[in-house]
Amino acid sequence: MAYNTQDALNLIEQDVRLSSNIQATTGTLPSPQGSDSNVSGTAAFQSNSALILTLYATNLSPTDPNRLIITLNTPSACGSPNATANTPFTYTVVYFVYNNSLWRRVIVPDYNTNSSNTICNSPPWQKNSCQPGYSAARCSVADSKITENVSSITLSYYNGSSTTANSTATSGTTTATRVTINSSKTVAGQSISHSVVMRALRINN
């Protein structure tokens, strides 16, 4: 149990470090990616109970050395010499607890649907995910189950160089998060509890 929890925190740390923003909320989401109705509705995730990160979308796996950050088709047209300096196209990753497991959900905005959301180097490697078993148009892949036997996660947020912890994130100013995964499991009739803590700082703007 301890090893699985540590692996989960390592993955979270990697995402936090590469994120461009730690969000306060996802806002209302397309069904079935919301936090209500067994995490298959439209309600927003909130940072007091879920870790919500903004990351740069890429045309290949983020670990591929040949990957490119996907950009919006503004202010320069795709293919122009200055296109690499365009505004990056971003997606959202949400870590949340459901049915005693920690899940990772990917939320990719619609793109190439209008002039304000046309992207270069499309399509993104990242795909929209939903709870396993859903076949809605948005559900390209299933959410990733990161670890099991999770009773809760505790989240704290830090702004800039402040050492004061906040119970919710402030979009645009939160730079670090402290994540505690609380796990419990019954073995041979005895309940075993375990907590592991990690603090991570984002390095992107």
The pLDDT tens digits for 65-110 are 999 999 999 899 888 888 889 999 999 999 999 999 999 999 999 9
Place 60 in a pLDDT band, splitting at 50, 70 and 90. very high
User: Distance between CA 21 and CA 26 in Å, rounded?
Assistant: 12
Contact 107, 91 (CB under 8 A): yes
Contact 183, 193 (CB under 8 A): yes
Burial of 47 (0-12, 13-18, 19+ CB in 10 A): buried
Q: Which two tokens stand for residue 151?
A: 């009773």
Which stretch of 48-52, 117-121, 156-160 has the lowest confidence by average pLDDT? 117-121
Q: What is the arithmetic mean of pLDDT over 135-142? A: 89
116: pLDDT strictly greater than 80: no
pLDDT value at position 3?
A: 75
Place 115 in a pLDDT band, splitting at 50, 70 and 90. low
Domain boundaries, the chain: 2-201
114: pLDDT strictly greater than 80: no
User: Distance between CA 84 and CA 95 in Å, rounded?
Assistant: 30
